[in-house]
Amino acid sequence: MRDGNCIFCKIANGEIPSATVFEDEDFRVILDLGPASKGHALILPKHHFKDLCEADPAVAAKILPLAGKVGQAMIKELRASGFNVVQNNGASAGQTVFHLHVHVIPRYDGGPLMVSWVPGGATAEELAETAEAIRRGI
């Protein structure tokens, strides 16, 4: 399924050119136009899913192994020393393009801080109550 108004549908299916690093029947992996670091890549499913909640589980299951391959290539060929795998769902989580995609961001020694947060705190009771709420929804 494609969404005619979706830029990532057009890129994933080759209607709009992109710097492609990998392609198979399910995915196109491209370089981000606004890279957080050199080599920042986006894994785009060829089918339109708004986000992870809507994704076909069979397609979703292939994403993490592919992210691992792309990250390893960054280490080998770009001399990255690590990589982050980031996936945003919903505007509050920073999603700006509503076609499921996964960021693979190479990291270099001495590079800027990113993908980080300030650890908060929670009591054992709060953790238990929150865990129970999420368990109910799964």
Q: Which residues bind ligand 5GP (CB under 6 A)?
A: 7, 18, 30, 32-34, 42, 88, 94-97
Of the candidate residues 28, 40, 46, 48, the single one contacting Zn ion (CB under 5 A): 48
Phi, psi of 104 (to 5 degrees): -120, 110
Please, which residue, 86 or 138, has the CB nearer to ligand 5GP?
86
In three-state secondary structure terms, 2 is coil
Q: How far is the CB of 31 from ligand 5GP (least distance, A)?
A: 6
Q: Residue 67: what residue type?
A: A
Output the smallest distance, CB 35 to ligand 5GP, in A. 8
48 binds, among ligand 5GP, Zn ion, none (CB under 5 to 8 A by kind): Zn ion
* 99 is an active site residue: no
Q: Which is nearer to ligand 5GP, 94 or 119 (by Cβ)? A: 94
Cα dihedral 3, 47, 25, 14, rounded to 10, equals: 30
Given the residues 47, 48, 101, 103, the one annotated as active site: 101
DSSP letters, 64-89, are HHHHHHHHHHHHHHS--SEEEEE---
Please give the residue whose beta carbon sits closest to Zn ion in the complex: 6
Strand partners, 117: none
Identity of the residue, 32 or 56, whose beta carbon is nearer to ligand 5GP in the bound complex: 32
Instruction: Say if residues 17 and 33 touch (Cβ distance below 8 Å).
Output: no
Backbone angles phi, psi at 89, to 5 degrees: -125, 110
Task: Indicate which residues carry an active-site annotation.
Answer: 101
- Interface residues with Zn ion (CB under 5 A) are 3, 6, 8-9, 48, 99
